[in-house]
């Protein structure tokens, strides 16, 4: 059967260059907006290899290696480590609804299989599984589990995780609509979707919050950014909006992989207006998209 999609490696490299030139501090291929669940295992491995090669040591590459299976997650994690990844982002096994003990053993097995740091990724909205602060406190006792990307939307968890892990677990906000709240509570990093097409404002917000602790200036920037963040987070079309945003700045992202569909012209116009209000680079009309499956978290 003829395949409808293929990974466009040239466009992927251009997106990575755009993000790094925009000042981002790291790249996460095959994360949620990388549509990892719709890529074959071979495609996932190739995206990782291309990303690490394209980054070329300029910023760390943290690879998403999640799957419903512990064995496959370990296979992908070992591949990422061998390819040169500096860390792994692992969302909870989805669909099977593992128990707390099963989750603990899952992450423990991954940690024992690799030497590089593991970023636990808690996204109950998409995985259907909530990795709670008490469970993270147990996981923090494992040497190479030191980070959590927290996407529950409950900013109270930032302080809870820091307190329950005695500061051993570094918290990263993983949403584009509550980043200032998380930074105020002690979050140290932000894994952003919108940074793929407005990297400079995202980096600026991080610098104001974490490096300068200038929350007055950060609040002013945050209120300019929040309409865009709320659009992509609250629409139920996160991947679709991120891909459209990438193309608004003249890059190729391709259509979402089915069953997801491209946003409407009306939705695109709203997105274009919000991006234009934040982006120093003028929006462009892209050429016909080449392929899908090249989005990343940055």
CATH superfamily of domain region 9-276: Aldolase class I (3.20.20.70)
**Token match 């709203």: residue?**
270
Query: What residues are paired with 186 via a beta bridge?
Result: none
Number of H helices, E strands in the chain: 12, 6
Per-residue pLDDT, 295: 34
Per-residue pLDDT, 10: 97
Interatomic CA distance for residues 103 and 27, integer angstroms: 26
207-211: long-range contacts (C-beta < 8 A, 24 or more apart)? 209/179, 209/180, 209/183, 209/184, 210/183
> What b-and-e string marks burial along 80-91, b requiring 16 or more CB atoms within 10 Å of the CB?
bbebbbbbbbbb
Domain regions of the chain by residue span: 9-276
The structure's pTM equals 0.90
The tally of CA atoms less than 13 A away on the side-chain side of residue 119 is 25
Q: What is the 3-state secondary structure (H, E, C) of 49-94?
A: HHHHHHHCCCCCEEEECCCCCHHHHHHHHHHHHHHCCCEEEEECCC
DSSP string, 166-208: TT-SEEEE--SSSHHHHHHTT--EE--SGGGT-HHHHHHHHII
User: Count of CB atoms within 10 A of residue 186's CB?
Assistant: 15
Considering only CA atoms, which of 288, 279, 283, 289 is closest in space to residue 269?
A: 283
27 DSSP assignment: B
Per-residue pLDDT, 3: 59
Catalytic residues, by residue number, are 121, 149
What are the tokens at 198? 């407005």
Average pLDDT per consecutive 10 residues, the chain (298 residues; last block may be shorter)? 77 97 97 90 97 98 97 98 98 92 98 98 92 98 96 93 95 94 94 96 97 97 96 94 96 94 97 88 37 33
């Amino acid at each position: 059967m003829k395949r409808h999609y293929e990974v466009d490696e040239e466009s992927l490299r251009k997106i990575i260059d755009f993000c790094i030139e925009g000042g981002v501090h790291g790249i996460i291929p095959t994360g949620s907006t990388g549509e990892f669940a719709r890529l074959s295992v071979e495609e996932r491995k190739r995206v990782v290899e291309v990303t690490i090669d394209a980054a070329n040591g300029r910023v760390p590459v943290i690879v998403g290696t999640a799957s419903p299976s512990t064995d496959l997650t370990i296979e992908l994690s070992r591949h990422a480590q061998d390819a040169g990844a500096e860390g792994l982002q692992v969302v909870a096994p989805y669909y099977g609804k593992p128990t707390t003990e099963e989750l603990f053993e899952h992450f423990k097995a991954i940690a024992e299989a690799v030497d590089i740091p593991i970023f636990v990724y808690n996204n109950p909205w998409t995985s259907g599984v909530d990795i709670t602060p008490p469970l993270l406190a147990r996981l923090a006792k494992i040497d190479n589990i030191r980070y959590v990307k927290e996407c529950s939307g409950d900013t109270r968890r930032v302080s809870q995780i820091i307190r329950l892990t005695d500061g051993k677990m570094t918290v990263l906000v993983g949403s584009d609509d509550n980043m200032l709240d998380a930074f105020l509570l002690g979050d140290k990093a932000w894994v952003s979707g919108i940074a793929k097409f407005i990297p400079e404002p995202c980096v600026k917000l991080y610098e104001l919050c974490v490096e300068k602790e200038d929350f007055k200036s950060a609040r002013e920037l945050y209120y300019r950014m929040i309409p865009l963040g709320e659009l992509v987070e609250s629409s139920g079309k996160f991947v679709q909006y991120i891909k459209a945003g990438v193309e608004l700045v003249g890059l190729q992202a391709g259509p979402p992989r089915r069953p997801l569909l491209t946003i409407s012209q009306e939705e695109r116009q709203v997105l274009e207006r919000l991006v234009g209000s934040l982006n120093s680079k003028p929006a462009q009309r892209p050429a016909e998209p080449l392929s899908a499956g090249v989005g990343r978290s940055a």
